[in-house]
Amino acid sequence: MVDTSLFDLTGRVALLTGASKGMGQAMAEGLAEHGARVVISSRKQDACEAVAAGINNRFGAGRAVAIACNAGYKEQLQSLVDKTHDLLGPVDVLVGNAGVNPFYGPMSKIPDEAFDKILNTNVKANHWLCQMVIPDMVAKGRGSIMITSSTGAFAGSEVLGTYNISKLADIALIRNLALELGPKGVRVNAICPGLIRTDFAKALWDNPEAEKRTREQVPLRRLGEASDLKGLAVFLASDASAYITGQAMTVCGGANMWA
């Protein structure tokens, strides 16, 4: 029998934002499959409950709970953490996957409201959430934090400039937290997806030009799927990655290998 204990997450509590669909849902399912109890969080309670019910049906009652939260509001994030403590206990694994991009176009045209929303939700909310769960991890001398960034962090864009700025800021955030928290046993990493076939990125992949670029430029010759994030999330949550922190790990089919 193959020993999979390095990836065993039994008894650990994982809190995920942006987890009711797409990459967040896939990561939640992967963590639950390897033994974790997971909190499914996004803005809509019914969507969270549907994902949690699916996980509980597959892996056993009580493996997932649903807690709605708009990550752009600090008080809602605090309520999310408080409810997690009440229902499941201290947080061992945090996946900050919630993100927004309400503007598509040049930075010279972006309204202040859109700029602020992108930075608040994609960066400040992750900073707040980390502050709220770090005490749980420090008390145990162990923990793993993952923030979803993007390969867009490594380049400029004529239409996604502010979004890319926010994702590069997330990498700076995890690096600084990795430096601060390493001596306390807490690891902090960024996950940087390339073009993944999700509803969030549909405007970028659902067109003939994108399909052509994928066939010609992506070494694996396909778009990413949400399920491609499952393995990395399990790896970073588990003891298999015990000596990995402060890293921006790309999931891009090889498209970003030259960056």
Residues with catalytic function? 163
**Are 124 and 117 within 8 A, CB to CB?**
no
pLDDT at 206: 60
pLDDT at 1: 76
Strand partners, 189: 146
Report the chain's C-alpha Rg in angstroms.
18
| SS3 (DSSP) at 11 | coil
User: What ranges do the domains of the chain cover?
Assistant: 5-251
pLDDT at 259: 65
**Are 175 and 169 within 8 A, CB to CB?**
no
User: Consecutive 10-residue runs of the chain (259 residues): their mean pLDDT?
Assistant: 90 97 97 98 97 97 97 97 98 97 95 97 98 98 98 93 97 98 98 81 65 81 91 98 98 85
For 5-251, which CATH class?
alpha beta
pLDDT at 200: 61
